[in-house]
């Protein structure tokens, strides 16, 4: 008996470091997965503690507040078991049995394997608990009736299915998981129908978010805007590339998520989006002024008046100050709404990796008349965006009228 106890004690002593190392590896892996899943972006209020909740998420049904997911037992998820955390992540079910609103992307996370959920939970248990309640979401009737989500979840909760990876590379398969599940890119880049569910027959073809367009991520559309796999990987890693910089809702995605991902995963995401055999990126040639429409020709002077001081007269931009206009991805979008919103709203200062940054861009909503704005848009789009279409003043005024009556976040 004495020998048996000695052996058990020795076995436990030898196993302890191995168990500790396994736990450490799980936490480290969970930290990476939480970053890839972009948990911080929705669960951190501006200027608030990480993961403590409070971020207002504007939806067509009202404002939903990101919850506290620190290990606080009173205000956070400190009492959640692994099973309960997995249910919240993949089924939208709170510990008390209530349904979460689908601002929580469980409609994409439902494809996450249990081991990844457990790793994320293990990591969240290690962060500092914040003893502060997030604002309570209070929507108008009937959207405030959480039991009504039971039927919604039956129809849409697990509607997302992944395309078969047969015949695809391992990089493509990894990228599919990073984009479709962890990164839940489709939640913003897919249009939504009246029930607020993703229109999966139009997956990744683009969606409207707070007055801005989350553009199409289809390979043909990316290539038409000048993207190749290397540029796309660089954009995700550094928040900037020859096509411009991340701004608006994508800036926190870069800041909290993609800049911390390893190069292999970033390359895999680009491989999935553009394909194992990507279409050739479309190259643009600058159009001379005499080839532009009369409106665009007038817009040249508007550009010199309000844009050239930062973006340069030839549209080449200035390092650390302003992006180039030549080949800029926003100018190359067929839908001009993002360009309208940027010119009118401006963009806050952007800090990227290392010492790279872009100075704030002021908004010109109160400085340009509709006719001036239309001329400027036509000049930018026709001269440097490869767009042949002519915008009318009425087109621009409609986009202005469609802008939501909320303050746009400028990052």
d(CA 83, CA 395): 51
Judge whether 170-274 and 289-402 match in fold. Answer: yes
pLDDT tens digits, 171-222? 999 999 999 999 999 999 999 998 889 999 999 999 998 889 999 999 999 9
pLDDT at 15: 57
Coil, helix or strand at residue 400: helix
Question: How many C-beta atoms surround the C-beta of residue 41 within 10 A?
Answer: 18
Question: How many C-beta atoms surround the C-beta of residue 94 within 10 A?
Answer: 17
pLDDT greater than 70 at residue 11: no
Coil, helix or strand at residue 117: helix
Residue 319, H or E segment: none
Main-chain dihedrals φ then ψ at residue 217, nearest 5 degrees: -110, 15
pLDDT at 57: 86
Give bridge partners of residue 59 from the DSSP assignment. 62
pLDDT greater than 50 at residue 409: no
E strands, 81-233, are 207-209, 212-214
pLDDT tens digits, 109-158? 999 999 999 999 999 999 999 999 988 887 766 666 777 788 889 999 99
The position carrying tokens 């009228």 is 401
pLDDT greater than 50 at residue 33: yes
CATH hierarchy code of domain 289-402: 1.10.760.10
pLDDT greater than 70 at residue 378: yes
What is the DSSP track for 29-47?
HHHHHHHHTTHHHHHB-TT
CATH hierarchy code of domain 170-274: 1.10.760
pLDDT greater than 60 at residue 10: no
Q: Quick one: DSSP state of residue 407?
A: P
Ranked by mean pLDDT, which of 142-146, 246-250, 300-304 comes out on top? 300-304
Give the pLDDT band of residue 411 (cuts 50, 70, 90).
very low
Cis peptide before 142 (omega within 30 of 0): yes
Question: How many C-beta atoms surround the C-beta of residue 344 within 10 A?
Answer: 19
Coil, helix or strand at residue 245: strand
Q: Per the confidence metrics, is the pTM higher than 0.75?
A: yes
Terminal CA-CA length for the chain = 68
pLDDT greater than 60 at residue 408: no
Percent of the chain, pLDDT > 70? 92
Q: Map out the domains of the chain as residue ranges.
A: 22-136+146-157, 170-274, 289-402
Sign of the CA dihedral running 97, 102, 103, 108? positive
Q: Quick one: DSSP state of residue 95?
A: T
pLDDT at 58: 81
pLDDT tens digits, 250-269? 999 999 999 999 999 999 99
Q: Which residue has the higher pLDDT, 8 or 130?
A: 130
Contact criterion met (CB below 8 Å) for 258 and 237:
yes
Give the pLDDT band of residue 5 (cuts 50, 70, 90).
low
What b/e readout covers 46-69, taking b as 16+ CB neighbours within 10 angstroms? eebbebbbbbebbbeeeebbbbbb
pLDDT tens digits, 70-98? 999 999 999 999 999 999 999 999 999 98
Main-chain dihedrals φ then ψ at residue 82, nearest 5 degrees: -60, -40
pLDDT at 136: 83
Q: Quick one: DSSP state of residue 159?
A: -
Percent of the chain, pLDDT > 90? 76
């Amino acid at each position: 008996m004495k020998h048996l106890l000695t052996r058990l004690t020795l076995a436990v002593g030898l196993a302890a470091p191995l168990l500790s190392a396994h736990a450490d590896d799980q936490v480290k892996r969970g930290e990476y997965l939480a970053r890839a899943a972009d948990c911080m972006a929705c669960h951190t209020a501006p200027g608030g503690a990480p993961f403590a909740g409070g971020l207002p998420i504007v939806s067509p049904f009202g404002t939903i507040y990101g919850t506290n997911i620190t290990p606080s037992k009173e205000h956070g998820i400190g009492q959640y078991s692994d099973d309960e955390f997995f249910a919240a992540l993949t089924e939208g079910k709170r510990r008390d049995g209530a349904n979460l609103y689908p601002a929580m992307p469980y409609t994409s996370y439902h494809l996450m394997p249990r081991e990844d959920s457990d790793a994320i939970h293990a990591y969240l248990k290690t962060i500092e608990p914040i003893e502060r309640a997030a604002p309570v979401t209070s929507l108008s009737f009937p959207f405030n009736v959480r039991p009504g989500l039971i039927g919604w979840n039956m129809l849409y909760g697990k509607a997302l299915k992944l395309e078969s990876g047969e015949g695809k590379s391992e990089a493509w398969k990894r990228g599919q998981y990073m984009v479709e599940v962890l990164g839940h890119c489709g939640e913003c880049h897919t249009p939504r129908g009246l029930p607020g569910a993703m229109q999966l027959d139009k997956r990744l073809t683009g969606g409207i978010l707070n007055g801005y367009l989350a553009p199409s991520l289809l390979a043909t559309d990316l290539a038409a805007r000048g993207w190749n796999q290397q540029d796309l990987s660089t954009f995700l890693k550094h928040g900037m590339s020859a096509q411009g910089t991340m701004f608006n809702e994508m800036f926190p995605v870069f800041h909290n998520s993609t800049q911390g991902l390893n190069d292999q995963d970033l390359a895999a995401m680009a491989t999935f989006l553009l394909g194992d055999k990507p279409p050739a990126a479309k190259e643009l040639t600058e159009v001379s002024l005499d080839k532009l429409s009369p409106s665009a020709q007038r817009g040249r002077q508007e550009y010199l008046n309000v844009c050239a001081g930062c973006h340069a007269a030839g549209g080449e931009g200035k390092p650390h100050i302003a992006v180039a206009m030549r080949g800029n991805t926003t100018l190359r979008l067929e839908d001009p709404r993002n360009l309208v919103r940027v010119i009118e709203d401006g963009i806050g200062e952007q800090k990227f990796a290392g010492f790279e940054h872009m100075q704030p861009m002021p908004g010109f909503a109160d400085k340009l008349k509709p006719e001036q704005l239309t001329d400027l848009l036509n000049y930018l789009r026709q001269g440097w965006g490869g767009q042949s279409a002519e915008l009318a003043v009425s087109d621009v005024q409609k986009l202005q009228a469609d802008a939501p009556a909320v303050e746009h976040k400028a990052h």
